[in-house]
Amino acid sequence: MLRIAIIGTGGISDSHIEAYLQFPDKCRIVALVDIYPEKAARKAEKYGLDARIYNDHRTLLNDGNVDLASVCTPPYVHAEIAIDLLHAGKHVLIEKPMGTSLQECDQMLQAAQASGTLLSIVAQNRFRTPYWNLKKMVEQNVIGKIVHAQIDSFWWRGHNYYDLWWRGTWEKEGGGCTLNHAVHQIDLFQWIIGMPVELQSILANVAHDNSEVEDFSTTVLRYANGGIGQINASLVHHGEPQQFVIQGERATIAAPWKVVASKQKENGFPEPNPTLEAEIQSLHDRLPELAYTGHAGQIQNVFAALEGKAALLVDGHAGRQTIELITAIYYAGTSGEKVKLPLAPGHPFYTTEGILANAPRFYRKTKSVENFADDGIIVGATSDQPPQKKPGADSRPPA
C-alpha cells in the first residue's frame, strides 16, 4: 500500500486526490501540505481524508510514512521541492510544467538518478482516449508522411486572473499561456509529431495589463523531413476551442476525431476518397477505450512502474523535452530569431537566471491579492511583491 502526500492544495490538487481515490487497494493519502494549513484541512474534509496537515514540504523529508508525493505547487518551486523529496528517497509525480528552465529539469533528473527514485511529470492528456488513439493512428502510418500539423491551445481568462500574487511574473510563474496553459498541448505535439529542427515564434500580451508575461503566442516549426508544424497558445479565445489536426499526404486526422481523405481528379483538383476514409475509420474504431483516463490513467501507470509491471510512460526526460520546446519558443519570440534545436547548456535561456534577464516584460504587475477564495478575494499586497507570509508558514504558495 503506497502512502501518498499531496504538496500544494490548490485547484489542481483535486485532480490528483480524485485520481488516487480510484485506487483504494493500492494507495492511501496520508499527508497534505500547504502554506495555508486551513486550506489543506478543508481539502481533507472535502474528501474525507484521514491525513496529516503540514505547512512545509520539508517536514516530510524524514517521514518514513510517505512513499510518493504529488507536487501541485506553482512552477517556480517545483525544482526545489522535487529535488528535496527525491534526495530523501521519495518518488515524485510533479505537475506541469516540470520546471521553469532546462537547468532545473536537469537538476531534477540528476537527483532522481542519484537516489534511484521515480520521477514522473504530469501529462494527463496522453492518457485520454482521443489523443492516445491519434498517436496509434500516426504510428500505423495510415495517413502517409505528415506534411503539416497544428495544435490550438485556446483558453480565456479574465483580467482578474493575474491579480493572484504569484501569477503573471517571469520569476514566479515562469511564463504565460505557452508554459502554463499550452504545456499539455505542446507535450502532445512533441509526443506524437516529434521534435522540430527549427522554429520561429511571436509572443504578445494583448489583453492582460496586470501581467509581465504573454497571453498569446504563435509558433511555426520545421521538421527534418520537410514537414511544417504550428503551435498556437492563447488566453483570449472565448469558448476555449481546442484542436489537434494532422495533415498527411494521404488523409487528415484530428482530435476531436475526424478523418478526411481526398484523391485527385485528372486536373489535380480534389474529390472525396470515401474508400480510404472508411479504411482509416475502421482501424480507428478497433482501438480500445482506455480503462483509466487523465490523471488516473497516469497514476495507474506510475503504480505499475513502481511494481515493475510496466515502463514509466512519462518520465523526467519526457518532461524535459516539452520544456526544451517551450524554451525555444520563448527565446525565438524574444529575440526574433530562428532557433535551432536541440538547445545546449550554454544557451542564453538554459538557466532561470538567463530567462529572467532576457525575457520581455509586456506590463508591470501593479495589483496583487493574496489568495482567491470561494466566497471572495483575500486582499494582500498592492504592489508586485508577494504578501507577507503567516508566522511559521512556508514561503511556497499553493497552486
pLDDT in tens, 75-120: 889 999 999 999 999 999 999 999 989 999 999 999 999 999 999 9
- Whether the Cβ atoms of residue 164 and residue 210 lie closer than 8 Å to each other: no
**pLDDT-derived band at 238, boundaries 50, 70, 90:** very high
- Whether the Cβ atoms of residue 131 and residue 255 lie closer than 8 Å to each other: yes
**pLDDT-derived band at 392, boundaries 50, 70, 90:** very low
pLDDT in tens, 249-297: 999 999 999 999 999 999 999 999 999 999 999 999 999 999 999 999 9
HSE of 345, CA atoms in CB hemisphere, 13 A: 5
Q: What is the pLDDT of residue 373?
A: 59
* Percent of the chain that is helix, strand, coil (3-state, to 5): 35, 25, 40
**pLDDT-derived band at 393, boundaries 50, 70, 90:** very low
Give me the DSSP letters along 223-285: -TTS-EEEEEEESB-TT--EEEEEEESSEEEEETTEEEEEEE-TTS-EEE-HHHHHHHHHHHH
- Which has more pLDDT, 61 or 377? 61
Closest CA to 276 of 253, 245, 243, 257: 253
Query: Has domain 2-124+294-314 been given CATH number 3.40.1260.10?
Result: no
- Whether the Cβ atoms of residue 76 and residue 100 lie closer than 8 Å to each other: yes
- Residue 354 corresponds to which cell in the numbers above? 538567463
Helix (H) or strand (E) holding 319: helix 316-335
Q: Which residues in 290-319 are b (16+ Cβ under 10 Å) and which e?
A: beebbbbbbbbbbbebbeeeeebbbbbebb
